[in-house]
A and B are shown apart, each in its own frame.
Chain A
């Protein structure tokens, strides 16, 4: 039976796009990487997998690395792109229910961009990709324990950067106003 690609793209596209954004300087590049990732997934017969998410993330990761490598060859342009890395906002849907929540969203995006890449990718895969630590470990070639450690470090670093994360009640109150 042919695979329902639309359903697969709808299901995993946003998380993969967010994942790709952690490697790429722009939204357009991230979409290109996601497209290439889906193509590689298809070429590798990934659609036959019981659980396609780990293979999709792995394919997108490879595509992102290849894109970064090709960019690295173009030294001057790459350096310019690097300066804007993670500065492009709106990796998440905008929050319409309050200015404070929207500011909070923007702050989280900035804090996410400041995380070490190895922690950030684990966090994205876990939170928004809904992968298990075992699947993350398999995708990244690390042990599940290492994946779990990176995840905890990432959360702790985010908490420290955000500061206000320790005050969820204040955050919620802001959205009700």
Chain B
């Protein structure tokens, strides 16, 4: 860079960003330390979704396991097993804890940002419309089985930024 830009850069570095107010600092710290960071509504929704997803995964796994056993069974074996059940050889009932899968990683990546220019919005006035495209990725993991799956969902946000017209 040129000398004047270097000196400007150095001058900017001398400026100290304003600190958080003590109240905000304390609020953030307490919220994080309490481990109760999520807003109540969001947290409830998140855990509800977590529970639903875990239940769905368990059902899918049970159905898949049952289907696998059926497809591997030979016709003769079926008859033999049915006529001479051996209690000690009977497969143990499939029991899975309800919380077997847990979200272990969440990320949101901005993949595209498009400035669509100035638009006139009724009851709003002139505004710059910027479209953001995100990809949300949640990774679930079953630590007992070392199994995992990833849910990826697109998300689009349109932001209107008021502009003044001169």
Q: Which residues of A contact B (CB under 8 A)?
A: 5-6, 9-10, 13-15, 17-18, 27, 31, 34-35, 38-39, 42-45, 58, 61-62, 65-66, 68-69, 72, 75-76, 78-79, 81-83, 85, 90-93, 105, 108, 117-118, 123, 127-128, 140-141, 152, 155-156, 158-159, 162, 165-166, 168, 171
Contact = CB atoms under 8 A, between A and B. Distances in A.
A44 B16 CA distance: 29
B56 interface: no
Contact of B28 (A34, A92, A165, A171): A34
B20 A17 contact: yes
B16 A93 contact: yes
B161 to A, nearest CB: 7
A42 B37 contact: yes
A44 B103 CA distance: 10
B157 A69 contact: yes
Interface in B50-109: 104-109
- State the main secondary structure of chain A at its contact with B: helix
Given A5-B33, A13-B19, A83-B162, A155 B112 contact: no
A152 B124 contact: no
B116 interface: no
B4 A165 contact: yes
Interface in B108-166: 108-113, 121, 123-125, 127, 132, 134, 157-164
B48 interface: no
A159 B4 contact: yes
B157 A14 contact: no
Given A17-B19, A62-B108, A69-B157, A78 B162 contact: yes
A93 B18 contact: yes
Q: How many of chain B's residues touch chain A, expressed as a range? A: 35 or more
A69 B11 CA distance: 34
7 contacts: A9-B28, A14-B19, A38-B31, A42-B37, A65-B132, A76-B124, A168-B7
A148 B147 CA distance: 41
B32 interface: yes
A166 B20 contact: no
3 cross-chain pairs, A with B, having the tightest CB-CB distances, nearest first? A82-B162, A18-B17, A14-B17
Nearest to A159: B8
A169 B21 CA distance: 34
Nearest to B15: A92
Nearest to A37: B28
Contacts of A156: 5
A38 B33 CA distance: 11
B106 A44 contact: yes
Given A17-B20, A65-B132, A93-B16, A35 B28 contact: yes
Contact of B159 (A15, A45, A72): A72
Contacts of A17: 17-20
A79 B163 CA distance: 8
Contacts of A90: 18
B45 interface: no
A79 B125 contact: yes
Interface in B1-57: 1, 4-5, 7-9, 11-13, 15-21, 24-25, 27-29, 31-33, 37-39
